[in-house]
Copies of this chain bind each other. A is one copy, B any other.
Amino acid sequence: MAGKKQDVALSDLQIAVMRVLWERGEPSTADVAEVLAAERGLKHTTVATLLTRLEKRGVVAMRRDGRQLYYRALVSEPDVRRSMVADLLSSLFGGDARALVSHLVDESEIAPGDLDRLRKRLKAAAGEDGT
């Protein structure tokens, strides 16, 4: 496997665009533009530019049907999460995920009950998986 979807760092705006693709599957430029116009007041042409660039970068695929262009994500949201969380971990937490959770705890972004529930979920998953 040639690490192709590795290192998919996207900007906030790019993620917003991707989100539309993730949610809708294969929207047209106009579809995406409509969402982004509502969400952020962007112009159609701006969105078109963003999509073109994402295609050039290889994170989305474009299909042409008549005059219209339809875009489809080539990287999944989990892919991007993996990549970007890994980046954050390595740059700011010495690669230690526990330090990140610890940070969330310190910043009161998660409650103790949440950790408990997640722990249980992990155990259940591990039990099924049997790894």
**A residues bordering B, Cβ < 8 Å?**
12, 15-16, 77-78, 80-82, 84-85, 87-89, 91-93, 97-98, 100-107, 109-116, 118-119, 121-123, 125-126, 129-131
Contacts and interface: CB of A to CB of B under 8 A. Distances in A.
Which interface residue of A12, A98, A101, A110 has the most chain B CB atoms within 10 A? Answer: A101
Given A85-B88, A92-B84, A130 B105 contact: no
A100 B85 contact: yes
B110 A92 contact: no
Given A115-B119, A116-B119, A109 B129 contact: no
A40 to B, nearest CB: 13
A27 B32 CA distance: 48
Contact of A92 (B15, B122, B126): B15
Given A104-B97, A110-B98, A87 B130 contact: no
Contact of A84 (B88, B123, B130): B88
A121 B112 CA distance: 9
Nearest to A11: B91
Contacts of A89: 109
Contact of A15 (B91, B119, B126): B91
